[in-house]
Structure 1
Amino acid sequence: MTSTTHITQALLVELLTEELPPKALQALGAAFAQGIRNTLDKQHLLEPDCTIDLFATPRRLALRLGAVRMQAPRQTYTEKLMPAKIGLDSKGELTAALAKKLAGKGLSQLTAADLIHESDGKQDYLYAKGVADGALLADGLQEALDYAIANLPIPKVMHYQLADGITSVKFVRPAHGLIALWGDTVIPVSILGLPAGRETRGHRFMANRPITIKTPHTYEQQLDIEGRVIASFTVRKDSIATQLHAHAKRLGATLGDDPAVAALLDEVTALVEHPTVYVGEFDEQFLAVPQECLILTMRLNQKYFPLFDPDTGKLTHRFLIVSNMQVADPSHIILGNQRVVRPRLADAQFFFNTDRKAPLASRVAALAGIVYHNKLGSQLERVERVRQIARYLAERLGVQTQNADRAALLAKADLGTNMVAEFPELQGIMGAYYAAADGEAQDVVHALSEQYRIRLDAAVNDATLTAALLFIAERAETLIGIWGIGLVPTGERDPYGLRRAALGLISAFEQLQAGGYLPIEPTLRLTLSDLLAFTTGTFGAHPIAADTAASVQHFVYERYRHQLAGDYERNVIDAVLSLEPPLQQVVARIQACADFAQYPEAASLAAANKRIANLLKKADDHIGQINHEQLKEPAERALAQTVIKLKPQAEAQLAQGDFAASLATMAQARGAVDTFFADIMVMADDPAVRANRLALLADLHNVMNQVADISRLAQ
């Protein structure tokens, strides 16, 4: 007779529900499947090579495991019970407390003689050791279902009553059926008041009838043929994508390259069980409205895929509908969707035309009535701060302040428009359209449209300079203001996007440098520390914590550290960022430092530098100036002469932004440094000699660490 531990078959589990939240469907499906799979695996009910197939539709979560045992193999166990003095009485028999514990662990058959005594170093403990029968699939699957349901990432729980009219349960949506099929056998489990069976239901409209699943391997085929349901999320998504691209190609159009297309594809896949794509269109008069408005309302409200001209990228008057119905004559579906979208587009047209009746600049005063933050004042107060910062930036870069100031003045004016009130996602975009209609300068218009970007990814030029200045000013104001009132990012929480703002600042400095507005040297027109200090002073009546600028600066460099980690060695990054050099110099310094680390002299100089740093930390006395007349030993005189010779050359190269040359110059000091430490006792008994040698090392340390803290290269 074959042991049940050697019998394996496929297992199918399906939970049939009301329509699940589309944006959460993929996460729910993955969590449901993995929760069951992992729990069964821990109970040794799965073969090592067991495959898993995930299924998720708007009305069901399911999985199929390829090789599942009816019973797990026998398992050895070790159970730590309790101290022997508590578990055994004076006669060596089980106490009531131990007997109860054994019963709770399913080990009530054990006697005192079966238990093992072991010391944990303090007292004797009783252990139960042995070999037990493996878990049964029915028990293991019940535990797995309970775990999976309890740990689903449910966005919002519903309470509903079961058919008995008394019992209530909690789940994301009401559940109506449960399949637990091992081969052709139903496993007797239950969840949410539903006993397991083998019956599911087909498409709500095209095949709303019971379907009896024969085996786990017939699940997809039966649902497809009998139920008009494509069970696999991936297969359904691929089908939709294929249909979308085929229709777009036939119409000589494209879906565009906006990342929102991929997100919408995921969402509509979670809305349909049998997708069919149809073509709709709207009146071409609506194309006079900014296309972002039309695109947003079609994607956000109607889940349509707008189509674009492949040559110009402009929106066309056609769109694609992903329907949950496949019918011979889809005209009523198409016309119905066209009727639905028309008032949406008409609303957008009305908002746009109404907003244009008032110049954008006339809306600035109304920002006084919109709170930015109760500790930082209104949006108008914020605008005035950003204006000051934008003008400061322009002055430091030696360019006209007028357009930077104008862009900052108008940046938030569209918050009071009808269009932005309806579609907050269009902030900045609509401001740019209205500014263009008002005849504002082109670089001002561009600045308004670009202000909400995450980062700058192209070298700044004359046409984009105003946008860059507004971009920097807004992020500096946000970082100082929000940080200054104590709303510091913690863990994963960063509700005001300070990490994003810091990375944006970094990118802006990089692109200003790439465009020639922030040359690495000889003149530092703008530094992060200067910018943050100035920004702090713009808050006036709104007190900011005294250490805010310094804290924000450290925060920005820490974000830079994370950003650079994938491209450079950690010790090289640390060597440069420990000095917090001007942002526009960071990459050049790191590249120079990475090259220097390959020099044969690098390891020795780094080790010496680390030793010097430790000696200087231990020095009790103030480090004074070098008295060259007191340098008596040849090694210390040689080192002093080396510093005198190399220091001006290294400093000149640093001033020219030639960091690699500056480091190469200091590499020439290796011989003198090695000889010094071989021959000289720095911490001499004579205080004057000791102080003079420390002063010499301090001078060497300063010039060696101008580009980076070389000691951090020591391994």
Structure 2
Amino acid sequence: MTDFLVEIGTEELPPTALLKLSNSFTEQVEAGIRAAGLEFTHIEPFATPRRLAVVVSQLDEQTAAKEIVNWGPPAAIAFDAEGNPSKAATAFAKKNGIKLEDLTTENDGKADKLVYRSTEAGKAAADLLPAIVQTALDKLPIAKRMRWGASRTEFVRPAKWIVMMQGSKVIDCEILGFKTANITRGHRFHCDTTLEIANPAAYADLLSNSGHIVPSYAQRKTQIREQVMAEGEKLGGVAVIEESLLEEVTGLVEWPVALTGSFEQRFLEVPAEALISSMSEHQKYFHVVDKAGKLMPHFITVANIVSNDPAQVISGNERVIRPRLSDAAFFFETDKKIKLETRLEKLKSVVFQAKLGTIYDKAQRVKALAASIAESIGSNAEYAGRAGELCKADLVSDMVLEFDKMQGIAGRYYALADGEAEEVAEAIKDQYLPKFAGDALPASLTGCAVALADRLDTIVGIFGIGQPPTGSKDPFALRRATLGVLRIIVEKELDLDLRMLISQAQQLHGNLPAADGLVDTVLNYMVERFRAGYEEANIPAEVFMAVSAKGLSQPLDIDHRVKAVNNFNTLPEAQALAAANKRVSNILAKLEDESTIGSVDNSLLVDAAEKALAQLVQAKAEQLQPLFAQRQYQQALAALADLREPVDSFFEDVMVMADDEALKNNRLALLKQLRGLFLEVADISLLVPAK
């Protein structure tokens, strides 16, 4: 067993994709090695802006030898009565390259057959690894590959060198147009030379000690975090480290050195979000806040060199950031001179979607729908309507045109400057929440109303023009918008009916090309989005299907039922009762008209088992009515679990389809009443596993 190293040297790789590329490369190399039947003890990834590498420790030098068993024709047809080989035996011997007299017979568990056993020698790892590496490179998640020079070779960035070693030996092959070697390269400035690798185990130390490179992505990321946090502490504040920015900076440097710079106090009069956006997006700086969480006039940058004069590096960064912050300050002061309400006129020339009108048209629809939602959830309809009307006005401000992440945030500041109610301003900011899975929700009910109205207007409108999401295409992010609607309603415990909201949104759109059946189409799409969330929570699909079968349209109610059914599904009585419900469903489904079955007539109850079940069903109906009314579904289903034994006894002792028509109908009525109790919550017959 020997160590294996592969390193792909390149021009600077895209920093935001570096971690994904490294993970994929490592996973694919590991998968290829395992598929080849090679064993190893450990695999370690390395990734810097100029290289992707993997070191595999204690890798088998060759695969194990394998015994090959080839079964031939049955002995009965391989030889005639005199024991002479038939054509079938001759063909089998020829196929396997053996003499007729060397044929042997074994039983394969069913019959005696001709068999040829041979041993396939193990394959050398050195012969298998080049193809494994090439396959791993081919499978990298690269959106657009590059070609360089006159070569037809393609990769994410032009390749510069390739290292492939097994122990101290180079595996001789060609990858990405380069002959493999044991030569790597150090830091572009601190060690701009080649380095010879003695063996894979020496790779990381060689780069660290001689190459002035931290080759491990994880180690480099940790170093950057620690350095940035330490710089923040020196300032008496706290450095704010966003994971996405940290990963991008980790993908930009090979030898991180954190340095602190400053900017003028006057810039703190500009919205902090704009300053932070400018520092992080354009310059990749980390910002610092004081103990109260307020932005401090400092930034932390991560250099890729150890400078002999750090002050010059800091000064250069300060000179670069100053004009950007000046732009933000200028945009802010200029924008405040024009009221948000005045900007509405400009929205009339900004198209939302060709068939759905302008952003102004959308804002007017959001205004009406938000006010209606606010009234339904006990919020201030006037505030919600006003926030809905102004929610898109900042899109035509200079601030948002320069810093697109400021949409909504800029609107909040401008609304406050205009003298709008604080609740209106906050709702304008919160309209885009949640932006992603796990993101915060709008803080106020007014914000919830606007956020819901905005998303529902988009979802209904895009479906209404016949452009629903298809496969991986979702240009208007309707899936994300739908999940946002569901999260707001469920987590904020809003008693809203999606069918009603979708219908209102459709009416506000007016005539839509795909209006027929639009409410049902959109409702089914939105409710179906629940499924993915429940799957992530490890709730079985059949639990959701049991609730979905009721055709409900209130997300909060659906959520309560799903959680109740999921809890019921864990009870020992669940499967028996689900099976009984399925049996009842099948019996009732055979009737021509189930509605003709009346109520239970106690005088027609004959057997002890049906009397006991009827008594219990009636008692449960009275007991559970208030629980159903209060949506206490979990308690209701727990109470229904008591019916398992009487239901089992009923089916064992009672003939449902009796010859006596009156008895039969009365027993069917009892089963219908039993099933009805469960159907108050869900169709639990769907909990029975499909065969």
* Greater Cα offset, 347-356 or 544-553: 544-553
Give 2:4's aligned residue: 11
Give 1:275's aligned residue: 256
- Count of matched residue positions in the alignment of Structure 1 and Structure 2: 667
TM-superposed deviation, 1:669: 6.8
Indicate if the aligned counterparts of 2:5 and 2:54 stay in contact, CA closer than 8 A.
yes
Deviations 1:561-598 (A, max 9, x none): 44345265666554444325533334544555566668
TM-superposed deviation, 1:546: 2.5
Q: d(CA) in 1 for partners of 2:90 and 2:655?
A: 75
Q: Of 464, 478, 496, which residue of structure 2 is paired with 1:498?
A: 478
TM-superposed deviation, 1:294: 1.0
Indicate if the aligned counterparts of 1:58 and 1:273 stay in contact, CA closer than 8 A.
yes
Q: Secondary structure at the match of 2:153?
A: strand
Q: Of 619, 625, 628, which residue of structure 2 is paired with 1:654?
A: 628
* Greater Cα offset, 541-550 or 22-31: 541-550
Q: d(CA) in 2 for partners of 1:590 and 1:25?
A: 40
Q: Does 1:535 align with 2:505?
A: yes
Q: Does 1:464 align with 2:444?
A: yes
Letter in 1 for 2:164: A
Deviations 1:457-478 (A, max 9, x none): 99999x7121111122122223
Q: Secondary structure at the match of 2:365?
A: helix
Give 1:485's aligned residue: 465
Q: Does 1:683 align with 2:676?
A: no
TM-superposed deviation, 1:447: 0.7
Letter in 2 for 1:543: P
TM-superposed deviation, 1:687: 6.0
Q: Does 1:179 align with 2:179?
A: no
Q: Does 1:238 align with 2:222?
A: yes
- Summarize the alignment of residues 240-389 of structure 1 with structure 2, pairs less than 5 Å apart: 240-256=224-240, 261-309=242-290, 311-389=291-369
Q: 1:596/1:352 Cα in 2 relative to 1: closer, same or farther (>3 Å)?
A: same
Q: Of 517, 527, 544, which residue of structure 1 is paired with 2:514?
A: 544
Q: d(CA) in 1 for partners of 2:572 and 2:151?
A: 78
Give 1:159's aligned residue: 147
The two structures have a TM-score, normalised by structure 1, of 0.82
Give 1:21's aligned residue: 14
Q: Secondary structure at the match of 1:11?
A: strand
TM-superposed deviation, 1:358: 1.0
Indicate if the aligned counterparts of 2:379 and 2:446 stay in contact, CA closer than 8 A.
no
Q: Secondary structure at the match of 1:342?
A: helix
TM-superposed deviation, 1:450: 0.9
Q: d(CA) in 2 for partners of 1:696 and 1:442?
A: 59
Deviations 1:400-421 (A, max 9, x none): 4211111110111111111212
Q: 1:546/1:694 Cα in 2 relative to 1: closer, same or farther (>3 Å)?
A: farther
* Greater Cα offset, 396-405 or 227-236: 396-405
Give 1:698's aligned residue: 672
Q: d(CA) in 1 for partners of 2:195 and 2:616?
A: 90
Indicate if the aligned counterparts of 1:536 and 1:544 stay in contact, CA closer than 8 A.
no
Give 2:79's aligned residue: none
Q: Does 1:611 align with 2:569?
A: no
Indicate if the aligned counterparts of 2:582 and 2:685 stay in contact, CA closer than 8 A.
yes
Q: d(CA) in 2 for partners of 1:458 and 1:174?
A: 38
Q: 1:379/1:631 Cα in 2 relative to 1: closer, same or farther (>3 Å)?
A: farther
Indicate if the aligned counterparts of 1:77 and 1:132 stay in contact, CA closer than 8 A.
yes
Q: d(CA) in 2 for partners of 1:29 and 1:600?
A: 47
Q: d(CA) in 2 for partners of 1:281 and 1:130?
A: 75
Q: d(CA) in 1 for partners of 2:306 and 2:498?
A: 60
Letter in 2 for 1:141: L
Q: Does 1:579 align with 2:550?
A: yes
Indicate if the aligned counterparts of 2:600 and 2:670 stay in contact, CA closer than 8 A.
no
Q: 1:684/1:54 Cα in 2 relative to 1: closer, same or farther (>3 Å)?
A: same
Letter in 2 for 1:563: G
- Summarize the alignment of residues 440-451 of structure 1 with structure 2, pairs less than 5 Å apart: 440-451=420-431
Percent identity over paired residues? 38
Q: Secondary structure at the match of 1:313?
A: coil
Q: Of 109, 125, 134, which residue of structure 1 is paired with 2:122?
A: 134
Give 2:393's aligned residue: 413
Give 1:553's aligned residue: 523
Indicate if the aligned counterparts of 1:502 and 1:556 stay in contact, CA closer than 8 A.
yes
Q: 1:617/1:322 Cα in 2 relative to 1: closer, same or farther (>3 Å)?
A: same
* Greater Cα offset, 677-686 or 279-288: 677-686
Q: Of 52, 62, 80, which residue of structure 2 is paired with 1:61?
A: 52
Q: d(CA) in 2 for partners of 1:667 and 1:33?
A: 50
Deviations 1:174-200 (A, max 9, x none): 222222233322222222222122222
Q: Secondary structure at the match of 2:258?
A: strand
TM-superposed deviation, 1:696: 5.0
Q: Secondary structure at the match of 2:53?
A: strand
Give 1:521's aligned residue: none
TM-superposed deviation, 1:689: 6.1
Q: Secondary structure at the match of 2:54?
A: strand
Indicate if the aligned counterparts of 2:261 and 2:298 stay in contact, CA closer than 8 A.
yes
Q: d(CA) in 2 for partners of 1:115 and 1:419?
A: 86
In structure 1, the gaps of 5 or more residues are 1-7, 82-89, 119-125, 519-525
Letter in 1 for 2:20: A
Q: 1:542/1:130 Cα in 2 relative to 1: closer, same or farther (>3 Å)?
A: same
Q: d(CA) in 1 for partners of 2:521 and 2:577?
A: 32
Indicate if the aligned counterparts of 1:279 and 1:319 stay in contact, CA closer than 8 A.
yes
Q: d(CA) in 2 for partners of 1:91 and 1:667?
A: 65
Q: d(CA) in 1 for partners of 2:427 and 2:251?
A: 38
Give 1:229's aligned residue: 213
Q: Secondary structure at the match of 1:64?
A: strand
Q: Does 1:52 align with 2:29?
A: no
Q: Of 376, 391, 405, which residue of structure 2 is paired with 1:396?
A: 376
Q: d(CA) in 2 for partners of 1:499 and 1:319?
A: 37
Indicate if the aligned counterparts of 2:434 and 2:440 stay in contact, CA closer than 8 A.
no
Deviations 1:341-372 (A, max 9, x none): 11111111122222212111111232222222
Q: d(CA) in 1 for partners of 2:642 and 2:128?
A: 71
TM-superposed deviation, 1:542: 2.3
Q: d(CA) in 2 for partners of 1:459 and 1:305?
A: 22
Give 2:190's aligned residue: 206
Q: d(CA) in 1 for partners of 2:63 and 2:411?
A: 66
Indicate if the aligned counterparts of 1:57 and 1:233 stay in contact, CA closer than 8 A.
yes
Q: Secondary structure at the match of 2:122?
A: coil
Q: d(CA) in 1 for partners of 2:379 and 2:218?
A: 54
Deviations 1:603-633 (A, max 9, x none): 6654443332222211013522627779634
Q: Does 1:634 align with 2:634?
A: no
TM-superposed deviation, 1:694: 3.8
* Greater Cα offset, 361-370 or 593-602: 593-602
Indicate if the aligned counterparts of 1:115 and 1:129 stay in contact, CA closer than 8 A.
no
Q: 1:345/1:625 Cα in 2 relative to 1: closer, same or farther (>3 Å)?
A: same
